[in-house]
Amino acid sequence: AFRAHLAQAKFRLVSSNVTDSGGQPFPGVATSAIVPVKAGGRTVRIGLIGVTIDSNPKRWVKYHDAIATARTEVEKLRGRTDAIVALTHLSLAQDAEFVDAVPGIDLVLGGHEHENWLMYRGKQFVPIVKADANVRSLAIVTLTFGAPGGRPVVAVRLQPVDDTIAAAPAVDAVAKQWVDRGFEAFRRQGFTPEAVVATSTEPLDGRESTVRNRPGRLTDLIAAALAHEVGTVDVAIFNGGSIRIDDVLPPGPITEYDIIRVMPFGGKVVKASLDGELLARVLETGMNNEGLGGYLQTWGARRDNGAWLVQGRPIEPSRRYTVALNDFLLTGAETNLGFLTRASPQVH
């Protein structure tokens, strides 16, 4: 299916460090590219490379080291371009390390974080630019070229995308086509996207900046729902990164489509017994994952004066606690929670 979708693409694809499991580029995917652009009476050659974070391992994909791969591709482009732009899906910290370790890059256009960023890193103070997720803003980047051989001057302007911008009928028509196709796919899976399932009297904040840093009304509702789903439990936990809407649901009707937008990954709610010692470690690690997808949202647990309480009482290390959680958390794949697996002797 992935290769079929690649074949449908009507645009060029550049991916330097992601290949098939045998180390070969996927069909139609270049490891770098040169794009000629006419500007100011001359043609400048923009070199492109693309690197991706290795956070979604699959048996049919191989992630190569981003820095080593980029160095190779930049060397191939050296002398053939007027500027090299790296298209990245890395964390901000990785982007900073990347430009410091790969000479020759003039600009990073990045992703991963859902909030806008502009910072300069590396020996050449390379601009790292990120706009807001879900097209809440656009980063408009202008490269000004001087004499051949010199580095371009980079200017960045952030343009919010909101109701002050007039709708474009042609764009609206294309967007509607994709929404209709998406809804039809949901119906084939048994959903009724437009069906109202609840009504909220207050905003429900699902922004990444909230759900990965602190509890809120939405996360409290989800955690309580997990507890309700499996019956009597002491605690419910789930990872804030499972909330993907990165937006605020306003007061009013909530549809099945809204629920899908909030938690699209699926999975199951499971009940497990955890030794108190392990539960305390899980809760502490989840709190320390602030800002990450592994930040844990909870029901029935809170931290008070440095100690974790369950149902208002201090955790007893040797006692077993009944916990409701999403099954993903028992895979050991969440950030810093590799010790939480079904195979742990403290999970029953």
User: What mean pLDDT is predicted for residues 77-104?
Assistant: 97
| Tokens matching residue 73 | 């591709």
Please provide the CATH number assigned to the domain covering 2-160.
3.60.21.10
Question: Which DSSP string do the residues of 99-122 spell out, in sequence order?
Answer: HHHSTT--EEEE-SSSS-EEEEET
User: Residue 333's closest CA among 280, 263, 275, 267?
Assistant: 267
Q: Distance (Å, rounded) from C-alpha 46 to C-alpha 30?
A: 15
Please check the confidence at residue 55 and state whether its pLDDT lies above 90: no
pLDDT in the model for residue 76:
97
For the segment 274-324, what is each residue's pLDDT rounded down to a tens digit?
999 999 999 999 999 999 999 999 999 999 999 999 999 999 999 999 999
Q: What is the mean pLDDT of the chain?
A: 96
pLDDT of residue 47: 98
The C-alpha atoms of residue 339 and residue 279 are separated, in whole angstroms, by 11
Confidence of residue 264 (pLDDT cuts 50, 70, 90): very high
Give per-residue pLDDT as tens, 169-199: 999 999 999 999 999 999 999 999 999 999 9
Domain with CATH 3.60.21.10 in the chain: 2-160
pLDDT value for 288: 98
CATH number of 191-330: 3.90.780.10
Stretch 147-153: mean pLDDT: 89
Burial class (CB in 10 A: 0-12, 13-18, 19+), 134: exposed
- Residues forming CATH 3.90.780.10 domain(s) in the chain: 191-330
236: pLDDT strictly greater than 90 = yes
pTM of the model: 0.81
Nearest to 61 by CA among 19, 31, 1: 19
Coil, strand or helix at 321: strand
The stretch 217-234 carries a mean pLDDT of: 97
Mean pLDDT of 12-39: 96
Residue 94 burial class via C-beta count within 10 angstroms: exposed 0-12, middle 13-18, buried 19 and up = middle
